[in-house]
């Protein structure tokens, strides 16, 4: 092969590799759910996953009745809505799942998720165990669920204090709820202890890659390939 051919060949393989992993048209989309008690590092891991463009993950933006924190942007972190609007959306069947968490309502709008999955792309959810159960009931094997644990309760408390985004009351409530949430770890497909952020991130990527390769998600793609293979 001359130089130009090699360059062309490597461009082609790079492109087809990208198409396989980032834009898998023939694969069923995955709903990747991350749950954890507040302060276990889930938000940071979510951001790292979204920043890795090659992974082509789209975040499902929840609606919530919680007050916006100063660090949050409406329409990016959440859509902040009134309780009246939340109830209207829920009663009209516009939410794929919903739950009351720390005295506020949270829910996942159905339409954007359906649109992403219809394109054969994957959707990332940051929701609690109550929502996870509902999504699993509705989506079956299309849902892949991961629970993130803090390395210790002391570390969880320290992270919440460092964040200093909540009132003392709200923080005490979050710590109390954390114990209940942690007890739900067996509801999940995978559990990651976040004692090292980079390792936790690498584990998440390994889970995503393996799940994307699961045979039932790729049946159509493989069927076509095997038909061609056997016709040779």
The residue ranges that bind ligand 5GP (CB under 6 A) are: 35, 38, 62, 66, 97, 99, 101-102, 106-108, 126-128, 130-131
Query: CA-CA distance, 99 to 76, in Å (whole number)?
Result: 20
Question: Of the candidates 29, 28, 93, which has an alpha carbon nearest to the alpha carbon of residue 60?
Answer: 29
SS3 225: helix
Of all residues in the shown chain, the one whose CB is closest to ligand 5GP is: 131
The residues, ordered by sequence, that sit 6+ positions from 141 with a Cβ below 8 Å of its Cβ are 216
Pick between residue 44 and residue 130 the one whose CB is nearest to ligand 5GP: 130
Closest separation between CB of residue 64 and ligand 5GP, Å?
A: 6
Pick between residue 24 and residue 107 the one whose CB is nearest to ligand 5GP: 107
Pick between residue 108 and residue 194 the one whose CB is nearest to ligand 5GP: 108
Closest separation between CB of residue 230 and ligand 5GP, Å?
A: 46
How many Cα atoms within 13 Å fall on the side-chain side of residue 217?
25
Closest separation between CB of residue 99 and ligand 5GP, Å?
A: 4
Pick between residue 171 and residue 208 the one whose CB is nearest to ligand 5GP: 171
Query: CA-CA distance, 65 to 62, in Å (whole number)?
Result: 10
Pick between residue 102 and residue 110 the one whose CB is nearest to ligand 5GP: 102
Pick between residue 58 and residue 130 the one whose CB is nearest to ligand 5GP: 130
Q: What share of the chain is helix, strand, coil (3-state, %, to 5)?
A: 55, 20, 25
Closest separation between CB of residue 34 and ligand 5GP, Å?
A: 8
Runs of H (alpha helix) within 74-218: 83-91, 110-118, 129-139, 153-163, 168-182, 197-213
Closest separation between CB of residue 53 and ligand 5GP, Å?
A: 23
Q: What are 108's strand-pairing partners?
A: 97
Closest separation between CB of residue 52 and ligand 5GP, Å?
A: 20
């Amino acid at each position: 092969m001359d130089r130009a051919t090699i360059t062309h060949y490597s461009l082609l393989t790079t492109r087809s590799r990208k198409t396989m992993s980032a834009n898998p048209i023939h694969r069923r989309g995955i709903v990747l759910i991350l749950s954890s008690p507040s302060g276990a590092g889930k938000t940071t891991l979510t951001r790292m996953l979204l920043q890795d463009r090659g992974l082509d993950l789209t975040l499902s933006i929840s609606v919530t009745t919680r007050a916006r924190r100063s660090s949050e942007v409406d329409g990016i972190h959440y859509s902040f809505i009134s309780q009246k609007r939340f109830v209207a959306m829920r009663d009209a069947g516009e939410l794929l799942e919903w739950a009351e968490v720390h005295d506020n309502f949270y829910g996942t709008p159905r339409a954007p998720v359906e649109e992403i999955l219809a394109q054969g792309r994957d959707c990332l959810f940051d929701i609690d165990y109550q929502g996870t159960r509902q999504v699993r009931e509705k989506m079956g094997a299309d849902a892949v669920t991961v629970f993130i644990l803090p390395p210790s309760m002391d570390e969880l408390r320290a992270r919440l204090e460092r964040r200093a985004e909540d009132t003392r009351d709200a923080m005490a409530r979050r710590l109390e709820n954390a114990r209940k949430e942690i007890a739900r770890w067996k509801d999940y497909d995978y559990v990651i202890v976040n004692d090292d952020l980079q390792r936790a991130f690498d584990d998440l990527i390994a889970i995503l890659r393996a799940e994307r390769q699961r045979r039932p998600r790729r049946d159509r793609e493989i069927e076509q390939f095997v038909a061609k293979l056997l016709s040779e």
